[in-house]
Structure 1
Amino acid sequence: MNRARAGRSLKPAAWPGGAKCAVALSFDSDHDTFELRDGGKSISALSQGHFGPRQGIPRLRRLLADHSIPATFFVPAITALHYPEEQRALIAEGHEIGLHGWIHERNTLLDETTERDLQYRAADTLEKVTGVRPVGIRTPSWDFSENTLKITGEMGLLYDSSLMADVDCYELLLDGAPSGVVELPVEWIRDDAAYLIMDRWGGLRPQIAPHDILKIFTQEFDEAYDEGGLFQLTMHPDIIGHRSRLWILRQLVRHMRGKQDVWFATHADIVIYAKSVCA
């Protein structure tokens, strides 16, 4: 219970420029690693992963550019090696690249030595590809082992974005003591995969229409706005990047842009600000 636990809240009393609410849009660029991590060889499944770099990322880049919104892309190292120009283009456009494992591995299935090796190797790879050392991590599938926070702290990373104890940033405690790592929390409610992913071999099929998902995301934002807090959203280029699904994000962005006092920022910038004013 106390290995990695939520500490004090880091919710600012105000946001930069007098903004009432902060928005953190994120995209997990899993691409073909979701099949590769388990040694899968399905050409069909791999082709589904190829949709992200071919269609999803370009569509998302255009949408974000049209609205001048910086976002955070959490990228497995194998994705970065397969699609290096994609990562460099995102950095050039002002987006953040964060850690997302080596090959989208499950941390709770790894021993401490292996997990540490993969996390350090992933950071080195992203820095080599992009020229920028990542300062934050989102564990693949939000799978957080008993060693993850320890390793993240050892690496000197600023933040994690894999846990769900709050809606605003908070400090993470390791065995009851401050770890130095800030959590920018996620939630399945605010994740496109929870509503739109399909299990081809099982019986799971999406059972919710895009306009219903838009309603949920909009309500989450509206409540965050009213509370003067943080609205964080997790998406995947191969999921949200399809035409009818990109409509969800497009409509949501228009709704959020309709309010003048909203700060759109990367995860790193939000954490840096929250930590500085809540010290």
Structure 2
Amino acid sequence: MSVPNQLSSLEPRSHVEARSPAPRWPDGHRSCVALAFDLDGPTGDAMLDGSIWRNPSYFTLGSYGPWRALGRLLDLLNERRVPATFFVPAWVVENWPKQCAAILDGGHEIAYHGYRHEAFWTLDRDAQRAVMARSAEVFERYLGVRPVGFRTPSGDWGPDTIGVLLEAGVRYSSSMRGDDRPYLLHAPGSAEPMVEIPGRWELDDYASLAYHRNPDFPASLDRIASYDTTFDNWRREFDGSHRDGLCLTTLFHPKVSGKPGRIALLEKLLDHMRGQGAKADADPGHGHGHGSVWFATCRDVAQWWLDHNVSTQARGVSA
């Protein structure tokens, strides 16, 4: 079956590549975890259509993320010595600059996530360019950085998006679902590929834990799952990825999983992941890193993938 021209750049790889062995990660690590959080705050559809200004409850639900949950989450990451990537709408940076600066102070990466969480697939090329230009200006003015990563706020993008991102200096995306390893995206007219670090809905905390009655989002039946079941689901996804030597990234949200009771799920998950390294270290027959997990920011994963999967002439994605 042929692929429409506007989607051809999103093809992850050939059938031969799909059968290739698991990648070799740095220092002999068995698998990779790129822990990632979407710090959306109150941005999104309700802000874009203006209805959030008539709904204080929904606004405060979102603002809880940067205002309260983020600090708790950064403490956890510091205690476990795990780096993470935060995809942040620029509007959130404007309104909580000190909290966002704490992400960088903690040694983590901050990356693009639209200005007010726009659905990029609904925007034409000029509108997408405007969002990226405004976002870049905000990150530079408030944080002094120019991100090189992007996660589409809407879970999809249009035929112009990859070109707009490359023009804006973006060198990797974590938006698509085409594999459980990074892969390269090629844009017409661009010699340098973009790295895609695909996420998975199974590792989205909204699927299990989000609830709000008005607007009814996410719309479903039981919208808060058992915490034990949620942890078991996440653990099993990691175990499969680690067993096969793959790359796992998350779509977690501080306002959802950064609450006092739920953050214990993240603690257990990180301890379980890190426990793989302890098991490997206890086996004297294995070398350094064998069996353990490479925890890295999405930026570092993208750079490593470029270095090992394109020619030596490929430029880096460092900020």
TM-score class normalised by the smaller sequence: over 0.9
Instruction: Give the Cα–Cα distance (whole angstroms) in 2 for the partners of residues 228 and 103 of structure 1.
Output: 36
Report the more deviating stretch, 76-85 or 137-146: 137-146
RMSD: 2.0
Does 2:81 match 1:68? yes
CA apart distance, 1:63: 0.5
Instruction: Give the Cα–Cα distance (whole angstroms) in 1 for the partners of residues 35 and 60 of structure 2.
Output: 26
**Contact 2:40–2:253 under 8 Å retained in 1:** yes
CA apart distance, 1:110: 1.8
Does 2:48 match 1:37? yes
Report the AA paired with residue 257 of structure 1.
R
Matches within 5 A, 1:80-99: 80-99=93-112
1:127 aligned to which of 132, 136, 140: 140
Instruction: Give the Cα–Cα distance (whole angstroms) in 2 for the partners of residues 146 and 225 of structure 1.
Output: 33
Does 2:14 match 1:14? no
% identity of equivalent residues: 34
Instruction: Give the Cα–Cα distance (whole angstroms) in 1 for the partners of residues 139 and 236 of structure 2.
Output: 35
CA 1:56–1:155: 2 relative to 1, 3 Å: same
CA apart distance, 1:243: 2.1
CA apart distance, 1:142: 1.6
CA 1:267–1:197: 2 relative to 1, 3 Å: same
CA apart distance, 1:188: 1.0
CA apart distance, 1:131: 1.3
CA 1:43–1:155: 2 relative to 1, 3 Å: same
CA apart distance, 1:143: 3.0
Query: What is the DSSP-based 3-state SS (H/G/I as helix, E as strand, rest coil) of the residue aligned with 1:174?
Result: coil
**Contact 2:182–2:195 under 8 Å retained in 1:** yes
Normalized per residue, the structure richer in strand is 1
Report the AA paired with residue 256 of structure 1.
M
**Contact 1:12–1:278 under 8 Å retained in 2:** no
Structure with greater Cα Rg = 2
Instruction: Give the Cα–Cα distance (whole angstroms) in 2 for the partners of residues 116 and 21 of structure 1.
Output: 35
Deviations 1:29-72 (A, max 9, x none): 11121342221211111111121123210110011000011100
Deviations 1:72-128 (A, max 9, x none): 000101000001111111111110000000111111222221111111211221122
Instruction: Give the Cα–Cα distance (whole angstroms) in 2 for the partners of residues 49 and 13 of structure 1.
Output: 38
CA apart distance, 1:178: 6.7
CA apart distance, 1:246: 1.2
Q: Hey, what does 1:56 align to over in structure 2?
A: 69
Instruction: Give the Cα–Cα distance (whole angstroms) in 2 for the partners of residues 103 and 71 of structure 1.
Output: 22
Report the AA paired with residue 229 of structure 1.
L
Q: Hey, what does 1:160 align to over in structure 2?
A: 173
Instruction: Give the Cα–Cα distance (whole angstroms) in 2 for the partners of residues 164 and 7 of structure 1.
Output: 9
Give unmatched runs, 5+ long, in structure 1.
none
Q: Hey, what does 2:242 align to over in structure 1?
A: 225
CA apart distance, 1:12: 6.9
Query: What is the DSSP-based 3-state SS (H/G/I as helix, E as strand, rest coil) of the residue aligned with 2:74?
Result: helix
Q: Hey, what does 1:243 align to over in structure 2?
A: 260
Instruction: Give the Cα–Cα distance (whole angstroms) in 2 for the partners of residues 155 and 7 of structure 1.
Output: 22
CA apart distance, 1:216: 1.4
